[in-house]
Structure 1
Amino acid sequence: MTKTDTTADAPPQAGTSQHSYIANQTKDTYLKRLRRIEGQARGLQRMVEEEQYCIDILTQVSAMTKALQGLALGLLDEHMAHCVVNAARQGGPEADEKLKEASDAISRLVRS
């Protein structure tokens, strides 16, 4: 396997931060969502600069927050479906590590 190989068949090496499980279709979807969120952030900045009505700004902040949460849940789902499942199949300390990562990520999402 070369460094540019991004197939979902081979798990990343333990201790690395490879993200090879994001398929090209999913990656494109995430990037499209992030561009939309970036546009929302620019829109919010404009609204504040133009001193628009506070409630309208808060409504847009809520929409942006929901968009970020949706992105996070998609990434978490993908991590669980690929990284955690593959590590669990292989067993060993990496399985425990992946479960802990997922649990920590869920905890961070719940707190936010």
Structure 2
Amino acid sequence: MSAEPVGSAHGYIRSRADYLTRLRRIEGQARGLQRMVEEDQYCIDILTQVSAMTKALQAVALGLLADHIGHCVVNAAAAGDSAEAQAKLTEANEAIARLVRS
């Protein structure tokens, strides 16, 4: 994980409350999945909920990626620091690769 300069806000800061709400909902989904397994629910129903949770996590990841590109990459490029802009772009590309592999 790359460190931002002290005092700089991350790109997701304006949507922080939305991300926290989504992540809390996902946490609830995980607890629901645990409960379904404990209660011996039908496997297809559990898989359906796993799929919903996976999609929710992907939506958070894509939002964070868009925020990174729209804020961190753009700001580094606008500052005229080509090395920093390239580093931020490389981070984004690596994050995309991890998302595609998962």
Mark yes or no: TM-score above 0.5.
yes
Deviant stretches of 4+, over 4 Å: none
Equivalent positions of 1:1-112 (< 5 A) are 12-13=4-5, 20-24=10-14, 26-90=15-79, 91-112=81-102
SS in 2 for 1:72: helix
Q: Is the contact made by 2:26 and 2:56 (CA closer than 8 Å) also made in structure 1?
A: yes
Structure ranking higher in helix proportion: 2
Q: Find the aligned partners of 1:19 and 1:111 in 2 and give their Cα distance.
A: 29
**Alpha-carbon offset, residue 22 of structure 1:** 2.4
SS in 1 for 2:11: coil
Aligned-residue Cα RMSD (Å) equals 1.5
**Alpha-carbon offset, residue 19 of structure 1:** 5.2
**Alpha-carbon offset, residue 93 of structure 1:** 1.2
Q: Find the aligned partners of 2:28 and 2:101 in 1 and give their Cα distance.
A: 25
**Alpha-carbon offset, residue 21 of structure 1:** 2.8
Q: Is the contact made by 2:10 and 2:71 (CA closer than 8 Å) also made in structure 1?
A: no
Q: Kindly, what percent of the aligned residue pairs are identical?
A: 66
Q: Is the contact made by 2:76 and 2:85 (CA closer than 8 Å) also made in structure 1?
A: yes
Aligned residue identity for 1:56: D
Structure 1 spans left out of the alignment, 5+ residues: 1-11
TM-score, normalised via structure 1 length: 0.81
TM-score, normalised via structure 2 length: 0.88
Aligned residue identity for 1:92: S
Structure 2 spans left out of the alignment, 5+ residues: none
